[in-house]
Amino acid sequence: MSGIRIENLCKSFGDFDAVKNASFAVEEGELVALLGPSGSGKSTILRMIAGLENADSGRICLTGKDVTTIRTQNRRVGFVFQHYALFRHMTVFRNIAFGLEIQKRPAEEIRSRVEELIDLVKLHGHEHHYPAQLSGGQRQRVALARALAPEPRVLLLDEPFGALDAKVRKNLAKWLRDLHDRIHVTSVFVTHDQSEAMEIADKIVVINRGCVEQVGTPIQVYEVPHSRFVASFVGQVNVLEAFMGNGKLRIAGTDTCIPWPDSADTDKCAVVMLVRPEEIEISPQASPSTVSALVSAVQYRGSHYEVEMMLGQNQAKCMVPRNRMAGAALAPGKEVELTLGDFQLFSAEEGHQSVRRMLSSLGYIE
């Protein structure tokens, strides 16, 4: 039984289709990230799960029960808002107790449950403070405790760390992961920060323009992206124009041909190669499998140097570790030989599915 199942969910606001046919499932006890650029519809999906927006069509099941037409207050979801949405006229204690009071639990039980949650979110001594007396990080923890108090079926977090500064944000994200490992409540959080999603999610749902582009573990999404969008949104990527055909792959504007046996029977066609910067290595000498490029800029980035270059008519960049820099003697205008590691091919038309994936096992990289 899955924690959350979403089938063909659609939602439009006037002429704007915010969510188009979204389907995915979240297993019981998983922590899942809805990742996408702003305006991609990820928050709308989350709000539909909570019932804060009505779906135009499609189905939403929570722990096996169809809740599509059930009102928010009866769905038993915990929701954490970007701007906390705490009840400002209530103390921390009363905020957390609010959902329990609605369930008409005995006063003694409410008190012990609230204390348990205050313990969980580490807010001892703040029970009788008002939200305005707390820092941003503390407020968000109160909001989390309040959402968890009535024991919801699922926990939904809408850009939960979006209003916090970078350092607090990182700590709180890690803390949320630890918390999840202890309480295992099925959770979905919305974020536009791919590193945040990679860091704490079990599974990432990548959303673009209202469509689910890919569902997978952080490793799958990063290493086997299903579309150009996913590849370029999650992490950095070089996009190289190339031609494929007659058993060869040639990067536009270069002479180097990479053997490509799969295309032996196809005619020449335009493709794009997606190569992560860390998959490009500067090699000491030229060989049949290297590609030559012209360095256009070298920038210091602390732990490494970022080298920008022209690869034929394509712009590309790669990372050179600081300790390897001295030997390479890189400067703008210098010609270098590159070894390409893993890359992916997509047909040149935007958004088209992957043609084939290049693996180092093909044998031309040692």
Partner 1 sequence: MLSNRASAGLRPASAMVMRAIFLFFVGLLVVLPVVAISLEAFRSGFGSLWKQISHPQALAALWLTLRMAMIMVVINVVTGTATAWVLVRNRVPLRGLINALVDIPFAIPTVVTGMMLVVLYGPHSVLGALLGRHGVEVVFSRPGIVLALLFVTFPFVVRAVQPVMMEMEGDMEEAASTLGAGRMRTFFQVVLPTLLPAILSGAALSFSRALGEFGSIIIVAGNIPMRTQVASVYIYGEIESGNPGGAMGLSVVLLVISLLTLLVLNLLQQRSQRHAATI
Q: Does 50 bind partner 1 (CB under 8 A)?
A: yes
Q: Does 3 bind partner 1 (CB under 8 A)?
A: no
Query: Which lies closer to partner 1 via its Cβ, residue 58 or residue 162?
Result: 162
Name the minimum Å distance from CB 156 to partner 1.
8
Question: Two tokens at 38?
Answer: 């702003």
Q: Does 42 bind partner 1 (CB under 8 A)?
A: no
Query: Which lies closer to partner 1 via its Cβ, residue 74 or residue 361?
Result: 74
Q: Which amino acid is at 329?
A: A
Q: Does 85 bind partner 1 (CB under 8 A)?
A: yes
Question: Two tokens at 350?
Answer: 């935007």
Query: What is the C-alpha to C-alpha distance for residues 105 and 125, in angstroms, rounded to an integer?
Result: 24
Q: Does 103 bind partner 1 (CB under 8 A)?
A: yes
CB 319 within 8 A of CB 328: no
CB 345 within 8 A of CB 357: yes
Name the minimum Å distance from CB 293 to partner 1.
49
Q: Does 153 bind partner 1 (CB under 8 A)?
A: no
* Region of 9-17, 142-150, 270-278, 330-338 interacting with partner 1 (CB under 8 A): 142-150
Q: Does 4 bind partner 1 (CB under 8 A)?
A: no
Q: Applying CB under 8 A, which of residues 87, 195, 266, 286 lies at the interface with partner 1?
A: 87
Q: Applying CB under 8 A, which of residues 6, 19, 62, 84 lies at the interface with partner 1?
A: 84
Q: Does 132 bind partner 1 (CB under 8 A)?
A: yes
Q: Does 79 bind partner 1 (CB under 8 A)?
A: yes
CA distances to 84, 93, 267 from 147, in Å: 11, 13, 58
Q: Applying CB under 8 A, which of residues 76, 141, 169, 304 lies at the interface with partner 1?
A: 76
Strand order in the sheet with 314-321: 280-283, 335-340, 291-300, 304-311, 314-321
* Region of 96-104, 109-117, 310-318, 348-356 interacting with partner 1 (CB under 8 A): 96-104
CB 171 within 8 A of CB 14: no
Q: Applying CB under 8 A, which of residues 10, 163, 319, 325 lies at the interface with partner 1?
A: 163
Overall residue count recorded for the chain in this entry: 366
291 HSE (CA, 13 A, CB side): 28
Query: What is the C-alpha to C-alpha distance for residues 200 and 178, in angstroms, rounded to an integer?
Result: 9
Q: Does 99 bind partner 1 (CB under 8 A)?
A: yes
Query: Which lies closer to partner 1 via its Cβ, residue 103 or residue 287?
Result: 103
CB 233 within 8 A of CB 206: yes
Query: Beta-strand (E) ranges in 252-330?
Result: 257-259, 269-275, 280-283, 291-300, 304-311, 314-321
How many of the chain's residues bind partner 1 (CB under 8 A)?
35
Q: Applying CB under 8 A, which of residues 77, 121, 204, 242 lies at the interface with partner 1?
A: 77
In 3D, which of 83, 84, 77 has the Cα closest to residue 149? 77
Q: Applying CB under 8 A, which of residues 126, 139, 141, 304 lies at the interface with partner 1?
A: 139
Query: What is the C-alpha to C-alpha distance for residues 119 and 113, in angstroms, rounded to an integer?
Result: 10
What does the binding site for partner 1 look like in residue numbers (CB under 8 A)?
50-52, 71-79, 81, 83-90, 98-99, 102-103, 130-133, 139, 143, 146-147, 150, 163
